[in-house]
A and B are shown apart, each in its own frame.
Chain A
Amino acid sequence: MDKVQDNRAWFLIIPVFLIVAFSAILPLMTVVNYSVQEIFGPGQTLFVGTEWFGKVLADDRLHDALFRQIIYSLAVLAIEIPLGIVIALGMPGGRSAKTSLTLVLLALPLLIPFNVVGTIWQIFGRGDIGLAGATFRALGINYNYTSSPLDAWLTVLVMDVWHWTSLVALLAYAGLQSIPPAFYQAAKIDGASKWAVFRYIQLPKMRGVLVIAILLRFMDSFMIYTEPFVLTGGGPGNSTTFLSQYLTQMAVGQFDIGRAAAFSIIYFLIVLLFSFVFYTIITNTGSGEKK
């Protein structure tokens, strides 16, 4: 029997479409309108064409922030993905109290609000009252995230790893749990080493969840704002000023709405490009196997 096509189902998405229109499409259109004008105040505007885009594209501070952002996101992925896999491999399997306890402990950092995470690490790293800062000081290590760019970077990175590796571990764990025991039994009969089991059974079976983990962690880290803002305020100097924070400085700090709007559109296009590339990879992952 032929499948009946009933396009009336499309009407069901009208409420979602309306909500998205009011919360995303109209504001985005407004940002586009602002990006070609000098905004003096409500109703007081001057059309400047693509001038803001030209200025933003030639802005060295933006290039630096973009460069820092890319390095940061790549560093986050390079640490969190392998670490999350290692943690997942070491977690107890099956249904036991130990498994439940591990899952709860791992989920804890994910439940803490972003600004609280920033505050925790701000205090934790302080040389006078923070546990880590005071320990480093007692060991004779000259650690100070408020004056050393390297220390600030390391602290922001470690904070992110502490906050988000659990997510990767939980996703990888879910992937591992979905592998039928028959695979392991076959590997045992073949006398496969632990590495061979990981390389040829566990890693391929985790591919789907790992792509999602990479996508989530890349997008989140690429848009990071709250934690570094609370921890370092973008400093010392501009060493931990990432794209979101630079944008906020421009829009809220300097009230340079037109330039910030142009910057927002470029930022949006970069995020859109990466999202599209990842989306394409995700939807095409495994399609080669079916052929």
Chain B
Amino acid sequence: MDLQWMAWTLPTALFFTGIATMLVLMTVWELVSPTVEAKGFLPMRTTRGDRLFIGLLGSAFIHLGWLAATDAALWGALGVSLVWTAFVIRFG
């Protein structure tokens, strides 16, 4: 199948592989140990998947904010995002 029209690059392929891996791992985790709705620091009750989504959406805005605020490499934003996502999944 010719996928040239999709203009793939290695970084975007790795990005989507990462997202797909996360979804697969979350599915496996769900099958092994089903999620329970919990109430943390977020204003509503959330499942594990909800918290991952909030973590990822927040990470996207952290990256955009980083790009808008500084010329420094995005690795910093990635580090902040990982901490944020882990924090939301654990305490959200």
Report Cα–Cα, A47/B11, bound state, in Å.
10
- Does A218 reach chain B (CB closer than 8 Å)? no
CB A205 to nearest CB in B, in angstroms, measures 23
Residue among A29, A33, A58, A280 having the largest count of chain B Cβ atoms under 10 Å: A33
- Does B32 reach chain A (CB closer than 8 Å)? no
- Does A213 reach chain B (CB closer than 8 Å)? no
Q: Which residues of B contact A36 (CB under 8 A)?
A: 9, 11-12
Report Cα–Cα, A284/B11, bound state, in Å.
38
Q: Would you call A273 and B6 a contact (CB within 8 A)?
A: no
Q: Would you call B4 and A43 a contact (CB within 8 A)?
A: yes
Q: Would you call B64 and A29 a contact (CB within 8 A)?
A: no
Indicate the size class of the contact surface on chain B.
20 to 34
Q: Would you call B64 and A53 a contact (CB within 8 A)?
A: yes
Q: Would you call B60 and A269 a contact (CB within 8 A)?
A: yes
- CB closest chain-A residue, reference B71: A54
Q: Which residues of A contact B60 (CB under 8 A)?
A: 269
Count A-side interface residues using an 8 Å CB cutoff: 27
Report Cα–Cα, A45/B8, bound state, in Å.
10
Report Cα–Cα, A58/B65, bound state, in Å.
11
Interface residues of B in 6-27 (CB under 8 A from A): 6-9, 11-12, 15-16
Q: Which residues of A contact B67 (CB under 8 A)?
A: 50, 53-54, 57
Q: Which residues of B contact A276 (CB under 8 A)?
A: 53-54, 57
Secondary structure at chain A's binding surface: helix, strand, loop or mixed?
Answer: helix
- Does A78 reach chain B (CB closer than 8 Å)? no
Q: Which residues of A contact B54 (CB under 8 A)?
A: 276
Q: Would you call B68 and A29 a contact (CB within 8 A)?
A: no
Q: Which of B4, B9, B15, B53 contacts A42 (CB 8 A)?
A: B4
- CB closest chain-B residue, reference A270: B61
- Does A272 reach chain B (CB closer than 8 Å)? yes
- Does B44 reach chain A (CB closer than 8 Å)? yes
- CB closest chain-B residue, reference A284: B44
CB A173 to nearest CB in B, in angstroms, measures 30
Q: Would you call A39 and B57 a contact (CB within 8 A)?
A: no
- Does B5 reach chain A (CB closer than 8 Å)? yes
Q: Would you call B68 and A57 a contact (CB within 8 A)?
A: yes
Q: Which residues of B contact A (CB under 8 A)?
A: 4-9, 11-12, 15-16, 44, 53-54, 57, 60-61, 64, 67-68, 74
Q: List 9 A-B contacts (CB under 8 A).
A: A32-B15, A36-B11, A37-B9, A47-B11, A58-B68, A266-B64, A269-B60, A276-B54, A276-B57
